[in-house]
Amino acid sequence: MIALLVVACEVAFWVLLAAGLALRYVARKPKLGAAVLLCEPLLEVVLLVVTAIDLKNGAEPDWKHGLAAVYIGFTVGLGHHTIKKVDAWVAHRWFGGPPPVKPPKYGTARAIHEWRTAARWILAAVVALALLQAAVWYVGPDGAISSLQSWQQKMLLVIGINVIIAGGYTLFPKQAPKDADAVDREPADRL
pLDDT at position 63: 93
Mean pLDDT over residues 6-19, rounded? 96
Report how far apart the first and last C-alpha atoms of the chain are (Å, whole number): 34
3-state secondary structure of 68: helix
Higher pLDDT, residue 190 or 105: 105
pLDDT at position 144: 84
Distance from C-alpha of 157 to C-alpha of 40, rounded to nearest angstrom = 27
Q: Count of H helices and E strands in the chain?
A: 6, 0
Higher pLDDT, residue 58 or 44: 44
Question: pLDDT (tens digit, 9 = 90+) per residue, 96-112?
Answer: 999 999 999 999 999 99
Question: pLDDT (tens digit, 9 = 90+) per residue, 132-161?
Answer: 999 999 988 777 899 999 999 999 999 999
CA distances from 3 to 8, 27, 33, 43, 51 (A): 9, 34, 29, 14, 10
Label residue 23 left, alpha or beta by phi (over 0 means left) and psi (-120 to 50 means alpha): alpha
Using the predicted structure, report yes or no on whether residue 188 has a pLDDT greater than 70: no
Contact between 65 and 131 under an 8 Å Cβ cutoff? The reply is no
pLDDT at position 187: 57
Please give the model's pTM, rounded to 2 decimal places.
Answer: 0.88
CB-based burial label for 75 (10 Å; 0-12, 13-18, 19+): buried
Distance from C-alpha of 52 to C-alpha of 55, rounded to nearest angstrom = 5
Using the predicted structure, report yes or no on whether residue 24 has a pLDDT greater than 80: yes
Contact between 132 and 151 under an 8 Å Cβ cutoff? The reply is yes
